[in-house]
Amino acid sequence: MNKRGGILGELAKNFVKGLEAVSSESKKAVRETKKAFAEVKIEPRRKETDKAAKQEKKESKVRKIRKVKVIDDKFKEILKNVQKFEPMPVANEDELQNQLYQRLSVSYPKIKKARKKEESPDIIINGKYALEVKIAKNQAALTYLTGELIRYSKHYPNIAAIILNAGKVPESLLKEYASVYASNANVQTIFINGVWKGKKSRNIKINVRQS
């Protein structure tokens, strides 16, 4: 009996030790599992919401770029007047400039027009409100206008680009350039729909001799 009891007692001790070991490992596993779950951040599935948020942020950035600070209320009034301008078909920018000048001179007596080859905005009102006229013939014309506006804006904080949209340049590209003018020179852009007659080709008379 003593021998058998000794064997059973030893088995019992080993069994208890095994239970304790299992219990200890289980507790450790539980602790590690809790810790792992605590470190994991489960984000809700909202792909559409995130996409909409990114789009809104992008649009907000574009609006910020295109926003122009109009310093003077008088300048706002002039630009509203310009927006009502409906030009007749023009062959070049001089004709467009003359038409706009004639319209504005009725409301603003103190108006001057730039002379040819003069390094100055096309139209200046009250000595401080400037308008630069341009026909959107192609992308090169719009790019060239960027440099002009940057130079003029240093002397005329209140300046606007008046661009004739004759359907030669995509509207998306026109809007991009308006954003460039605003961000680089703080220039307001007004698009006016109209007709550009372009350059007329000369008629060449050919005399054909009859034999």
Phi, psi torsion values for 201, nearest 5 degrees: -80, 140
For domain 69-193, which architecture applies? 3-Layer(aba) Sandwich (3.40)
Amino acid at 141: A
pLDDT at 48: 46
Instruction: Read off the pLDDT of residues 114-128 as tens digits, 9 standing for 90 and up.
Output: 887 678 999 999 999
pLDDT at 206 exceeding the cut of 80: no
Q: Which of 204, 189, 133, 123 is nearest to 156 (CA)?
A: 123
Q: Which of 119, 161, 115 is nearest to 142 (CA)?
A: 161
d(CA 126, CA 163) in angstroms, rounded, equals 22
Least-confidence region, from 24-33, 141-150, 154-163:
24-33
Q: State both tokens at 108.
A: 């603003």
Residue 21 CA: distances (Å) to CA of 16, 48, 164, 173: 9, 50, 87, 74
pLDDT at 202 exceeding the cut of 50: no
pLDDT at 160 exceeding the cut of 70: yes
pLDDT band at 113 (very low <50, low <70, confident <90, very high): very high
Domain ranges of the chain: 1-33, 69-193
Instruction: Read off the pLDDT of residues 65-97 as tens digits, 9 standing for 90 and up.
Output: 345 565 689 999 999 999 999 999 999 999 999
Q: State if pTM tops 0.75.
A: no
User: CA triplet 108, 114, 116: central angle to 5 degrees?
Assistant: 150
